[in-house]
Amino acid sequence: MPTRTLDDGIEIALMIRDDMRRYGIEGMFRSLDTPPMTHACTDFEELAGFSGDQLIISSSDVTAPLSDETAEALRTHGIRMLILIDSASALDQSWADRAHGFLDWADLRPDSLREAIADIASGRFYMSETLARRSVTASEPATDAPAARRVSISLTARELQVLRLIAGGLSNRQVARSLSISEHGVKRLVGIVLAKLNCPNRTLAVVRAIEWGLLTL
């Protein structure tokens, strides 16, 4: 696979509470052939001047939910978001809904970071290898797991719409036409569903959603 390169001029805001982790990411960027412009960001008000080729990298340990106003500002300014996932942390749904990619801390390396940013900047949804494999290598859930999953996993109405159409055998293009949204929007929603259900593909996502009582056919 050819090495993905980063576009010149991309600006990255690091919303990482842990200073050591943030310093480590900054060091990875400096090791790249074309390091992007980065800066630490602690308040979404700092993003007011952002537009175009900007990206937020945030960790999953953020505590405050993302407000509707902030989410709308991110959408309006076209700001994309990569979330670094720690397997021990729960991600607030408001953040998951705005994410354009998920990268497990266990997969974090200069090349995977470059790949994630390049994919997101190109309009592709990114999910790292560990997140994709986790559902395959995980042990089978206990008998009462479906009830627990219904409480811990929540899909939005739009995500459920997409999942139902996928379960009906529709392609991304057909789903986009059915819902009158862009194919890119469908790809993003599918990526979010896969991340929430911890599944590497659409077929397993449908099966798991049925097993956990999130989807009825």
Rounded CA-CA distance 117/125 in Å is 10
CATH architecture of 139-211: Orthogonal Bundle (1.10)
pLDDT score, position 62: 63
pLDDT score, position 49: 56
pLDDT score, position 132: 62
pLDDT score, position 148: 43
Within the chain, which residues score under 70 in pLDDT? 1-9, 43-53, 61-64, 87-93, 132-152, 217
Domain ranges of the chain: 11-132, 139-211
- For 183-209, the pLDDT digits (tens) are 888 988 988 888 888 777 777 788 778
pLDDT score, position 138: 43
**Which pTM does this prediction carry?**
0.61
Rounded CA-CA distance 90/75 in Å is 23
**Topology of domain 11-132, CATH:** Rossmann fold (3.40.50)
